[in-house]
Amino acid sequence: MARIGAPILLLCFMYMSQVTSEQAFLHVSNGTSSKEYCVAYNPSWTNLSASLGGAVPYVLVNLTSSTLCNGSGLDPGMLVGKAVVVMRGECGFVQKALIAQALGATTVLVASRESLGTPSANQTDYRELKIPLALMRYGDIQDALEVFPEGMTVLLYDPPVPLFDLSILVMLAIGVFTVAMGGYWSGAAEREALSSALTIFVLVMCAVLVLMYFFYRWLVYVIIVMFCLASAMALYSCLNALMDRLGCGSCRFPCLGEAASDAVRTVLLASVCVTLAVVWGVYRNEDRWIWVLQDLLGMAFCVNFMKTITVSNFKICFILLSLLLVYDVFFVFITPMLTSNGESVMVQVAVGSDSNEKLPMVMKVPRFSSWDQDTCGMAFSILGFGDLIVPGLLVAYCHRFDVWINSTKKVYFVSCTVAYLSGMVFTFARRCGLAQTPAPSLLDRYQDQLRGGGLREPLLQEDQNVIQ
């Protein structure tokens, strides 16, 4: 069961953890009072002021009765020097914005009844559009019309977000702990011949990712259900092993017998795990607190995954990581050249298209620097499960190799874990400082783990030479 669903679940881990829609603030005022709303915009089209004082206010014209897919029926000077809000639908964002631009508008707001995603189009549209375009919730514009019935001025600004946040350190600790625990628990697993299935494994991942790209709105619920089931089983497996190790839950009921006593513990523990998974499923969109439960289930899932899905030797591990690296690079860097809107398939799946649902395969920690920013909701530092599981397979193999050669100091396990830690530190440092475009995380962690002469021995050893 675990092996059948592995390609489907693993591909969901591989999308970029830093992919999010660009959000900004819409400041609405009537001269005496003001209010702010959250909007989504595309930085490729629009350069917004970094401060409220540096933004230029414009009078807002309400055209939510129109989608502005053509300029017929509008007075020629109606939009000159003003901002305009129109409804989403019937035509693309760029067509609306270009029509408004031709009519003299200075800013275009598109009211949407759907989720706020980053507006996208092809490179030609980027060059033609000269005015700001942003997407806002339909409920927000209705609220603004009620608060400011006599008219309003609006301005857009995007305050800078601190590059470094303490939540990154928490995320680093979660990542290293999860990988180390998964690798250590994996232990001396039996060797299995998986090399013949590696190519098929990665091809299945590619196929499912493409299906997610075209049918995200429906398949996302399948992934959510699979995550609930898999995380409940994983949490049970982890807690059951922990209780055995600590000697907890070993009491017996003489009236029930030994077998029935074990069944009572199993039922109680399973009930707790299933309840936690169901609670997450019901309240998965409650950002204020559900991230704690999602991280708990996610850690259990990753640890159990690394214990269950094993590779038989270092060469197979090397081939698997190489194939996944090619997969990651292709769907991040190559697919933008093939899609009509210039966005990568992986970015589109990660953002979630127009669905309100997001794939749950991430660790989330609220950014401490944004606790007071409630307009656009809580901001999170996010780490994809793929950034844990894929390198974790190598860490797990190194620990098994230590067991096979009776290494009391766990040299390979410790070395590989330290290499993963250094890769994580480098990745976070690069994203905080240099990287402004999506890049496969495996480019960082993969290099650090495979670098160094200490891995020469497991690479050259054949299965039959490591018997004990």
Give residue 408's pLDDT: 80
94 Cβ neighbours under 8 A, 6+ residues apart: 121, 125, 128, 129, 133
Closest CA to 67 of 98, 84, 91, 94: 91
Structure tokens of 180?
Answer: 């180390």
pLDDT at 468: 35
Q: Who wins on pLDDT, 275 or 102?
A: 275
Residues 190-203: tens digit of each pLDDT: 444 445 566 677 77
Long-range contacts of 434-440 (CB under 8 A, 24+ apart): 438/16, 438/18, 438/19, 438/332, 438/344, 438/346, 438/347, 439/16, 439/332, 440/16, 440/325, 440/328, 440/329, 440/332
Whether 328 is a known active-site residue: answer yes
334-371 per-position pLDDT tens digit:
887 887 766 777 777 766 656 677 888 889 988 887 65
Higher pLDDT, 463 or 25: 25
Summarised one tens digit per residue, pLDDT across range 44-72 is 777 888 888 888 889 999 998 888 888 77
The whole-angstrom separation of Cα 209 and Cα 212 is 5
For the chain, which residues make up each domain, given as ranges?
2-19+162-217+296-465, 31-151
User: Which spans in 164-289 are helix H?
Assistant: 167-186, 198-246, 258-282
For the segment 420-455, what is each residue's pLDDT rounded down to a tens digit? 998 888 877 776 654 444 445 555 555 555 554 455
Mean pLDDT of the chain: 78
Q: How far apart are CA 282 and CA 88, in angstroms?
A: 29
Label the pairing between strands 133-137 and 153-157: unpaired
Confidence of residue 3 (pLDDT cuts 50, 70, 90): very low
The confidence score (pLDDT) of residue 293 equals 96
Q: What is the pLDDT of residue 188?
A: 52
* pLDDT-derived band at 7, boundaries 50, 70, 90: very low
Query: What does the DSSP assignment read for 135-191?
Result: EEEHHHHHHHHHH-TT--EEEEE-PPPPS--THHHHHHHHHHHHHHHHHHHH-SPPP
Which pLDDT score, from 0 to 100, does residue 282 have?
A: 94
Q: Is the pLDDT of residue 178 over 70?
A: yes
Q: Residue 453 is which amino acid?
A: G
User: Is-catalytic flag, 354?
Assistant: no
129 contacts 97 by C-beta, under 8 angstroms = yes
User: When comparing pLDDT for 116 and 396, which is higher?
Assistant: 396
Confidence bin at 17 (pLDDT 50/70/90): very low
> pLDDT band at residue 18, thresholds of 50, 70 and 90?
very low
Residue 326: per-residue pLDDT: 84
How confident is the model over 273-306, as pLDDT tens digits? 999 999 999 999 888 889 999 999 999 999 998 8
Catalytic residue, from 158, 165, 295, 387: name it.
387
| Residue 329 confidence (pLDDT) | 82
Residue 402 token pair: 């230590």
Model confidence at 10: pLDDT above 80: no
SS3 329: helix
Mean pLDDT throughout 8-32? 64
User: 381 — phi, psi (to 5°)?
Assistant: -90, 130
- Of 253 and 145, the structure prediction assigns the larger pLDDT to 145
The model carries a pTM of: 0.76
Q: Which helix H or strand E contains 110, and what residues bound it?
A: strand 107-112
pLDDT at 224: 92
Set 125, 165, 328, 402: catalytic member: 328
Give the C-alpha distances (Å, rounded to integers) separating 290 from 228, 279, 361, 369.
14, 9, 14, 19
Half-sphere exposure of 445 (CA within 13 A, CB side): 31
Residue-level pLDDT at 459: 52
Q: Look at residue 220 in the predicted model and tell me its pLDDT.
A: 87
pLDDT of 407 above 90: no
User: Cα–Cα distances in Å, from 47 out to 22, 104, 120, 336, 381?
Assistant: 12, 18, 15, 22, 24
Q: What confidence category does residue 227 fall into, taking pLDDT thresholds of 50, 70 and 90?
A: very high
Is the pLDDT higher at 135 or at 465?
135
Sequence-ordered list of residues with C-beta below 8 angstroms from that of 168, at least 6 positions apart, any chain: 381, 428, 432
Q: CA triplet 103, 87, 110: central angle to 5 degrees?
A: 70
> Is domain 31-151 given the CATH code 1.10.287.3510 in the classification?
no
Q: Which of 183, 196, 75 is nearest to 415 (CA)?
A: 183
